[in-house]
Structure 1
Amino acid sequence: MTKETDQKIQLPDDLIALLDSADRMPGANELRAQSYALLGSGPGMSAVDVGCGAGRAVAELAERGVKAVGVDPSERMIAVARGLWPEADFRIAGAYELPLADASVDGYRADKVFHELAEPERALAEARRVLRPGGRIVLLGQDWDTIVIDSADPALTRTIVHARADLTAGPRAARQYRSLLLNAGFDELTVEVHTGVFTGPAMLPLLVGLAEGARSTGAITHEQTDSWIAEQRARAEADRFFLALPMFMAAATGPR
């Protein structure tokens, strides 16, 4: 689900497909629309979408009359975005060094980005730099320690979730959005939590990735990995699969 890293990377086709699948999940359209509303999107507004991935949000903002720029550190992802939305403005860049002039945009949006940043404060300083006085910022993302999965082995599941979370630079960044924004000088803050509930097989790849990530750290064995994945597949086949994924959305206004 990652859309942003601290350096340029090349992304495999399966990850690109997974990101696209996530954008199409039930509730994803509504979540993006809410982020646009909190951004204050409308004709004549300008905005940057940081960690834009395949560019869907940039295209949807443009449909609302927003002059949107999408940035992502992955050359491959930007190439995909340009292929899908050839009329849009996409640029290769990370969150720490945006290719924008000072005080040049009205809005800043980052979706599933900050958990990949080792220095979120640095990214927010850059957000303040490019935002015009009173500009709006919206951050979205999941707390990687807060993923609810039904399993016959809750202890193993807990180990898997936490071990996979520790592979990210900032697994608990979403719960820190409010403090990070306040510390960066933003005000008029709001924080929302939207929980997606998934009961079908579409999210199996996410759970497989969690287990394989935990195994790579040595937290669980190959046998535990295979057994846990097999259980989740069996649950999906028997219509007993359950995953709840809280998504946090924080919005704030920059200094005037």
Structure 2
Amino acid sequence: MSNHTPPDASEIAVDELIRRLDLADALPEAASLRAHSYDLLAPTPGALVVDVGTGSGRAVAELRALGAAAIGVDVSERMVAVARRRWPGADFRLGSAYRLPLPDGSAAGYRADKVFHELDDPGAALAEARRVLRPGGRIVLLGQDWDGFLIDSDEPVLTRAIGHARADTVTNAWSARRYRNLLLDNGFVDVTVSARTVLHTDERALPLLVGLAAAAHSAGAVPRDQADAWVAEQTRRARDGRLFLAVPLFVAAATRP
């Protein structure tokens, strides 16, 4: 008899999330976007930067390589454990965007990548960001607009329904388009926003498209046969070199006065 305890559903979900994040992070566009976020933070050597929702910790490792004293914070114990295993010696801590394990005014930089769409109270998270940032500290927010997937399909009406249904399952689907106003409303200055579009034209986008269809079906917005037919079409497009998925991403930066 094995003493191994099988993983529970939450562990499986986190493992699947890590797999998807790894695939996304490996794309050249993702690496370029991360580097851009570090440029916006502009940490001086030894400056404390907190990466909120750090996941498996890649950004912390890259910031440390640039000389920053980076700390990764995540609400998931399993994510923190994975990050510590992947990047020995780096500082990863359990915590949430609403309660960061840092003293007042201790950080020179705050970074949150693909986090704010999960928050039901982004204002409270930005108040916490202001608390931990010192005057002059920089904040950078990155994320996609979940209501803005651009997908080529023979079924545009169904495609629109799938995209909107998926967005409706996200806590704060429009958070990225609101970054600028959220930062202004919460007292940050020197606010800038830029947009980038990540374009997918091969099979690496299929897990994302399959996930969109599955979420739309689970939400009751699309029947199973239509979701399956749509996935089959996208799979054919990927096989034939005809897939087209464009995802708008927004990067906002600001300064704590």
TM-score (normalizing by structure 2): 0.94
Q: Deviations over 1:199-225 (max 9, x none)?
A: 010110001001100111100000111
Distance in 2 of aligned mates of 1:113 and 1:179: 17
Query: What SS does structure 2 have at the residue aligned with 1:52?
Result: coil
Q: Which segments of 5 or more consecutive residues in structure 1 lack a partner in the other structure?
A: 1-8
Distance in 1 of aligned mates of 2:196 and 2:133: 26
- One-letter amino acid of the structure 2 residue matched with residue 220 of structure 1: V
Matched, 1:200 2:202: yes
Q: 1:26 deviation in Å?
A: 2.4
Aligned to 1:170: 172
Distance in 2 of aligned mates of 1:85 and 1:194: 29
Distance in 2 of aligned mates of 1:131 and 1:236: 45
Q: Deviations over 1:163-212 (max 9, x none)?
A: 10011110000000000000000010110111111101011000100110
* Contact 2:14/2:79, CA 8 A, preserved across alignment: no
Aligned to 1:118: 120
Matched, 1:28 2:5: no
Aligned to 1:3: none
Q: 1:92 deviation in Å?
A: 1.1
Q: Deviations over 1:132-181 (max 9, x none)?
A: 01110000000000111110001111111111001111000000000000
Runs (4 or more) in structure 1 with deviation over 4 Å come to none
Distance in 2 of aligned mates of 1:18 and 1:216: 19
Query: What SS does structure 1 have at the residue aligned with 2:195?
Result: strand
Matched, 1:136 2:165: no
Distance in 2 of aligned mates of 1:13 and 1:112: 17
Q: 1:12 deviation in Å?
A: 3.5
Aligned to 1:79: 81
* Contact 2:43/2:108, CA 8 A, preserved across alignment: no
Distance in 2 of aligned mates of 1:167 and 1:14: 18
Distance in 2 of aligned mates of 1:234 and 1:12: 29
Q: Choose 1 or 2 for highest CA Rg.
A: 2
Aligned to 2:61: 59
Identity %: 60
Q: Deviations over 1:94-149 (max 9, x none)?
A: 10000000000000000000000000000000000000011100000000001111
Q: 1:25 deviation in Å?
A: 1.0
| Pairs within 5 Å for 1:158-237 | 158-237=160-239
Aligned to 1:46: 48
Q: 1:41 deviation in Å?
A: 2.2
Q: CA RMSD in A?
A: 0.9
TM-score (normalizing by structure 1): 0.95
Q: 1:45 deviation in Å?
A: 1.4
Query: What SS does structure 2 have at the residue aligned with 1:27?
Result: helix
201-210 vs 36-45, greater mean Cα deviation: 36-45
Aligned to 1:106: 108
